[in-house]
Structure 1
């Protein structure tokens, strides 16, 4: 449900260019893998939880002549 909050109702394969690599900050390549986790394997399985969505405001400038 966390990703749905960010990108809406989309198929996971459509998300390729919506996210960036945390290390290099590039978004031109993303590898997706799916893993079925059942039974005892679910204990200790790492899951990323969305904590908050931050909006960053940046100033936009333009030069004008007086």
Structure 2
């Protein structure tokens, strides 16, 4: 699956099953709106599409694979009167 940022023109390839582990079973068109560009930090310009590249095109593609999912716990305090 190809995900690109329309603002800074970055293209990245992902395996669909890796994205499904993160976002669940959603439509491919919605994946782009749930991601944030690593270069500019915005998500308004993200666009995702499914493509089937030819064997020749696949040789030049670097696919990003999911290494791990980290859960961040934040402490929120409340002052009592």
User: TM-score scaled to structure 1, two decimals?
Assistant: 0.76
Q: Give the 3-state SS of the residue equivalent to 1:32 in structure 2.
A: strand
Large movers: runs of 4+ above 2 Å = 23-29, 31-36
User: TM-score scaled to structure 2, two decimals?
Assistant: 0.65
Q: Deviations over 1:9-50 (max 9, x none)?
A: 111112233211212322233133554311222113111101
Alignment RMSD (CA, Å) = 1.8
Asked which structure has the greater CA Rg, the reply is 1
Q: Which has the higher contact order (CA 8 A, sep 6+)?
A: 2
- Structure 2, unmatched stretches of 5+, are 1-16
The structure that is strand-richer by fraction is: 2
Distance in 2, matches of 1:64 and 1:28, equals 39
- Structure 1, unmatched stretches of 5+, are none
The residue aligned with 2:55 is 39
